């Protein structure tokens, strides 16, 4: 008499673990992106820019800074929440009425792909195009930028 229950249990466990992981990956990745908002400061720069455009430069540096700080802390909290709850449903973005699900940037600057051998493997020149200093806010100079 064969004992096939352990084999069937192992196959069922492997099937349960192998399928349906895309939602967890998306939620955890979105959470990581949001949790790293204090390092990126996209909400801060966008809030200062938008407040300065609509309410004037004085309000941009005062009210825009506070609004950006508030949105940065909110995005960081949502990111930590999504990372902790990634294995559990629902997998849709939360609080989308206040913050957009993806990262935001000021309208004056949207970064492209960082120059590196992963994305641009130009062996003839020895270097490839991209942002010169993407970690510096306001760095817009690019070499070999073709739209």
Domain boundaries defined on the chain: 21-92, 109-147
Sign of the C-alpha dihedral computed for residues 35, 41, 46 and 47 taken in this order: positive
pTM: 0.65
> What distance in Å separates the CA atoms of residue 59 and residue 50, rounded to the nearest whole number?
10
For the segment 66-82, the average pLDDT, to the nearest whole number, is 95
**What is the rounded average pLDDT of the residues 86-111?**
85
pLDDT mean over 124-146? 57
User: Rounded mean pLDDT of 72-90?
Assistant: 92
- Under DSSP, is residue 31 helix (H, G, I), strand (E, B) or coil? helix
């Amino acid at each position: 008499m064969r004992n096939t229950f352990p084999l069937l249990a192992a196959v069922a466990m492997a099937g349960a673990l192998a399928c349906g992981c895309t939602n967890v990956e998306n939620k955890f990745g979105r959470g990581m992106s949001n949790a790293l908002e204090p390092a990126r400061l996209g909400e801060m720069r966008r809030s200062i820019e938008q407040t300065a455009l609509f309410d004037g430069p004085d309000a941009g540096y005062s009210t825009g800074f506070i609004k950006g700080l508030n949105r940065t802390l909110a995005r960081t909290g949502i990111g930590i929440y999504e990372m902790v709850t990634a294995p559990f449903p629902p997998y849709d973005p939360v609080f989308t009425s206040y913050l957009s699900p993806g990262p935001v940037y000021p309208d004056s600057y949207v970064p492209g792909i960082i120059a590196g051998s992963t994305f641009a493997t130009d062996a003839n020149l020895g270097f490839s195009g991209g942002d010169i200093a993407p970690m510096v806010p306001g760095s817009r100079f690019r070499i070999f930028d073709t739209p």
